Amino acid sequence: MKLVILDRDGVINEDSPDYIKSVAEWKPIPGSLEAIARLCHAGYRVFVASNQSAIGRGYMDYDALFAIHDRMQRSVAELGGRIDAIAFAPDHPDQASAKRKPKPGMLLDIARRMGVSLDKVPVVGDSFRDIEAARAAKARPVLVRTGNGAETERKHGADLAGVEVYDSLAAFAAALVAAG
């Protein structure tokens, strides 16, 4: 089974220091939805694993989160793609569970549910905590320069040995599909 796990904010949609709290604030990064569809057309199953501390901080509720996810899934479906499942950690960072990245809980849960090893499974993110979670889950960490990715690359360059870096989710998807 071919699997890809994506972070949401900064990879699929624009990020904000004020959090993405509503459907109106959710704006896809150009090319990201098409990239997900491209991965699906190439036989990949696409999952999302995203920290959503805006819930734990009281900035939004679950209904708002689910409305955003519904919009994202419908937008991908309109392009012929599919997001198989969305895992999220609603925790406040001060009360983080094993699910909240940089811990690998969400990734390991996806692997358990799918009955697969994460060895060689790309986990695409824009922050160092995404890279740390992928490494802890023994997956294949990938950094994109969208969202916080360019800053992550500047700040943690020495700690990114062995991490593939792409300009965007679209660039990553094109490379992955071309590699077969």
- Write the pLDDT tens digit of every residue in 105-157: 999 999 999 999 999 999 999 999 999 999 999 999 999 999 999 999 999 99
What is the average pLDDT value for the chain, to the nearest integer? 97
Give CA separation, 39 vs 21, 79, 87, 134, in Å.
Answer: 27, 12, 19, 19
Please give the share of the chain, as a percent, with pLDDT higher than 90.
99
- What pLDDT, on the 0 to 100 scale, is given for residue 4? 98
Select from 136, 178, 168 the least CA-distant residue to 35: 168
Q: Are 11 and 125 in contact (CB under 8 A)?
A: yes
Q: In the prediction, which pLDDT does 123 show?
A: 98
Give dist(CA 145, CA 147) in Å, integer.
7
Report phi then psi at 79, rounded to 5.
-100, 5
Q: Do residues 16 and 64 make contact, with C-beta atoms less than 8 angstroms apart?
A: no
User: How many domains does the chain fold into?
Assistant: 1
Q: Which pLDDT band, with edges at 50, 70 and 90, does 180 fall under?
A: confident
Nearest to 96 by CA among 147, 55, 142: 55
Residue position matching structure tokens 């071309």: 178
Q: Which residues are catalytic?
A: 7, 9
Quote the CA–CA distance of 15 and 67 in Å, as a whole number: 17
Structure tokens at 14: 């624009």
Record the tokens describing residue 36, joined without a space.
Answer: 């997900």
Place of tokens 């937008």: 75
What range does the domain containing 116 cover?
2-179
Separation of alpha carbons 41 and 16, rounded Å = 30
| CATH number, position 15 | 3.40.50.1000
For 123, the enclosing helix (H) or strand (E) is strand 122-125
